[in-house]
Copies of this chain bind each other. A is one copy, B any other.
């Protein structure tokens, strides 16, 4: 199965093969990676009870800034993209070049740190599950504690090809190599105590391939296997594609203009759409595999009836069922579809 996934990745532009076993990210994979990074930003940097600061420059300077702004009160955190890490992520071996890691450090005073680590674990696992087509896949490793009381907990994804490490969570009670000892002291009521720090580490390319494997499925359909990528709507590189069914070239032209008009509307709402040129010869059925394997959740179908009564069909990737939507309602309907997730 894993070989099939890699093959699909190459054909559909998720990955470009460069060596025998190594790939670089292709254009569709780049969009998926962009969406994953955005979801990470939303979960880690914005959507938290804690102020988290993005670090582009020096960690020490960012720490100083965060500590001052937060008036030496914990918790606060620092999120950054780094190139070196102590973790080895299984899927990274399929990629050429050095991987990038999304790394977060949260500073918490000892009286809250155990509770915080516990909440943080659950929050992170929930994040992986929320974006998954098969949430049960994600589970914790056993908690490892060393002699100094530092802890390591890992989140794994269970795939057919085996267990894959997706995130490492660490709980550290000692000094942080990037912060001087004095500055690690934060306020706990009126006294000052040395903060603990909790880290999370994710490899960007490992996460990319993990979510592709996660989404891959081949249900039976009309006695044949239908390979598809069941991406979460927030992750799908393209949210909407267009398919035109016409037998006359004038109709085709008119419907192509309508598709362009609808596509512009959706793109104005920042919905990523794929609009490909159509011909008279291509049947609707021949277009589904392409869109299913790209993981496009919905395809807008325009046919000769659309020109008469204004009704388009919205085909779902997951169910293959088609809903009727009037073209004037499409924009708000699509907005609702992608908002409620």
Q: Which residues of A contact B (CB under 8 A)?
A: 13, 16, 18, 24-27, 29-31, 33-34, 38, 41-42, 45-49, 51, 53-58, 61-62, 65-66, 69-71, 73, 78, 260, 264, 267-268, 270-277
Contact = CB atoms under 8 A, between A and B. Distances in A.
B70 A54 contact: no
The 8 closest A-B pairs by CB, nearest first: A24-B57, A27-B53, A30-B54, A25-B56, A30-B56, A16-B61, A13-B65, A47-B267
15 contacts: A13-B65, A13-B69, A18-B58, A24-B57, A24-B61, A26-B61, A27-B65, A27-B66, A27-B78, A29-B56, A30-B55, A30-B56, A51-B274, A70-B276, A71-B276
A146 to B, nearest CB: 31
Contact of A41 (B29, B34, B55, B71): B34
Given A267-B48, A270-B42, A31 B54 contact: yes
Contact of A51 (B45, B53, B73, B275): B275
B57 A271 contact: no
A49 B273 CA distance: 10
Nearest to A33: B56
